[in-house]
Amino acid sequence: MAYDGLINYSVVSELQHKIIDGKIDKIFEPNFEEIILGIYSNGTKYALNLVTNSKYYRASLTTNAKPNPTFAPNFCMTLRKYMLGTHVTNIYTKGLERIIFIEFEGFNKSKDFSTKKLIVELMGKHSNIILVDNNDIIIDSLKHFSTDSGSYRNIYSGEKYELPKSDKLDFTEISDESEFYKVLEIRSTKFQVTSLASLISNAFTGISKNSIVAFETILNISDEFCIESSNKLYEYILFIINNTDKTNCLKDESNYHLARCDDKDNDLQINFFLDDYYTQKENTSNFVTYRDNLLKLILAKLNKLNSKLDTINVKIQECKEAEKYKLYGELITSNLYRIRDYNTDSIVLENYYDDNKPIEIKLDPSITPSANAKKFFKKYKKLKNAQEYVDVQKTSLVSDIDYLESIVYEIGEAKTIMDIDEIYSELQESTVTLKDNKKFKKGNNSASGIQSTSKNRAKKNTHSIKDAGYGEPLKFEIDGFTVLVGKNNRQNDYLTTRLANKEDIWLHVKDAHGSHVILRTENKIPSQDTINKCAKLAKEYSKSSESSNVPVDYTFVKFVKKPSGSKPGMVIYTNNKSVNV
């Protein structure tokens, strides 16, 4: 269900009993589509969240904290100038329009007594927050529009505020059910429409089609237009408007709707329901965006590395032919006395390294045979020098590709924004450089932001993995033993090389990316059955989770070493045994 005029009306009705006469003591702008007003009223602190996001636009009280930028944007500074220290004198909406008017007065930061109005328009992509004076002259707005850019209104400083235009009717001005039915009947005849939901939503401002469908379900009536269904819907909508103290928001399978409720548990139920509902939606959306942005960077880097590896492999194949060019040079040099000194495209000589079998050597016809011999020796030397370089380069490339593939696995297993933050922090500490993406690096999609690597880097004597800046690993209890499972490479490193004791047991799937699993023995000897259960965890939290008959290696932590300079999560181990899961 969309945030329609009925929802908006119900939200404002709840707020009228709570924030009028309240003092505005804080104003924040967490992002360019959102304003939060801190209001102290009757001994209680409220946070009124005004969101103009085209998908999640709304107004409601909030209890969910959000990070704020270090420096307040211009519109936020304007609001602070005129609103901080003032008192809310009224909050209302006109009919069922998705517009909220917040009037306030008092001495502002400039010590001037003023009366101002904040107008919150919640209309999808056209949503806006506008500050006007007592003559409805615009002081500033969150978003600016002008008729020159195609808007039908001017929304910028110094212009007179105009209400948005609408050709729909105001339900609150309908006198009774007969007038309501008559309006629908005329539209049904004119547009040949028989769906009540469509008729009502197209005729009246602020009543969405989804609301009517929900009401029809509650009233157990058909969507087919008739006088009986029309009267029942009119009465139900009228009840919702006139009895917000007996109206709740209820969640269904994938959405929510208003419903009559004689016993309302909380007089701010609708406000807090919307806050929780949309916060969860936003968190999910932010997580997906943040995850996909990072994954896009990783996959782009992987494609480049794989392309580079293909080039290196071609060069390695070339280097394998170095001895051939040396042979050509030697054969030509040793036979110069019998080779006519003229340019030719090929020559046949006996190969004294192979029982004097004849061998044809392709030559560059633009130069003499002796010059070709020098050219072959030069190519031989160049390829031999390149051999060592390309081998080292290939080793480094394969290591980087393997590491980034482990990151792709981690991202696929991530469940929260904090998980993605930890993965990104790990990448910042690694030697693999990703393509610069300024928008991503700012952490716009991250709830926590990205800390500097110096703060994230753990100290050797840190006892808590959380204090070390690596987040919390997964924790299980198996047969009385504590089992820890790393969620990313940095956690894997910390668990294995710093947190685990030497006599703890380390488990990992063989030849696949996955979590390090630590079985805390605490001077007890676990049974083979317990180890097998831990091996199942290692398989479950690995890239081989969907495979069958997966080998899992296990050994004591004292036999697990991290080579100097190796990538996060990379270790070598000895004295291991295996179990198939």
Please name the residue ranges forming H helices in 414-527: 417-429, 438-441, 453-456, 489-494
Residues 384 and 470 in one domain: no
Can you state the percent helix, strand and coil of the chain, rounding each to 5?
40, 20, 35
Type and span of the H or E element at 181: helix 177-191
Residues 541 and 494 in one domain: yes
Provide the CA 240 distance to its chain's centre, in angstroms. 37
Q: What is the pLDDT of residue 338?
A: 83
Cβ atoms of 559 and 575 closer than 8 Å = yes
Q: What is the mean pLDDT of each run of 10 residues along the chain (581 residues)?
A: 90 96 95 96 96 95 88 94 94 96 86 89 94 96 89 92 93 96 95 95 95 95 96 96 92 86 86 94 92 94 94 87 87 86 85 89 90 90 85 89 92 90 85 59 39 36 52 90 93 91 95 94 93 95 92 95 89 94 93
Question: Identity (one letter) of the amino acid at 523?
Answer: N
In a domain, 157, yes or no: yes
In a domain, 140, yes or no: yes
* 477: containing domain: 461-580
- First-to-final CA distance of the chain: 46
Cβ atoms of 456 and 425 closer than 8 Å = yes
Question: Identity (one letter) of the amino acid at 163?
Answer: L
Which CATH number covers residue 56?
A: 2.30.310.10
In a domain, 303, yes or no: no
In a domain, 287, yes or no: no
Question: Identity (one letter) of the amino acid at 182?
Answer: K
Residues 119 and 184 in one domain: no
Residues 17 and 157 in one domain: yes
Q: What is the pLDDT of residue 426?
A: 85
- Residue ending a domain, choose from 140, 165, 190: 165
Rounded CA gap, 514 and 530, in Å? 20
Rounded CA gap, 499 and 465, in Å? 8
Residue with tokens 């270790």: 571
Q: String of b and e for 178-214 (b: at least 16 CB within 10 Å)?
A: eebbebbeebbeeeeeebbbbbbbebbbbbbbbbbbb
Q: Which residues are registered as beta bridge partners of 102?
A: 91, 118
Instruction: Evaluate if pTM is beyond 0.85.
Output: no
- Residue ending a domain, choose from 457, 479, 512: 457
Residues 408 and 533 in one domain: no
Residues 55 and 154 in one domain: yes
Rounded CA gap, 413 and 515, in Å? 10
Residues 127 and 179 in one domain: no
Residues 522 and 407 in one domain: no
Type and span of the H or E element at 468: none
- Residue ending a domain, choose from 267, 296, 320: 267
Question: What count of residues does the chain have?
Answer: 581
Residues 38 and 58 in one domain: yes
Residues 60 and 97 in one domain: yes
Residues 87 and 233 in one domain: no
Give 554's DSSP letter.
Answer: E
Residues 127 and 188 in one domain: no
118: its two tokens: 């904040």
Cβ atoms of 333 and 325 closer than 8 Å = no
In a domain, 291, yes or no: no
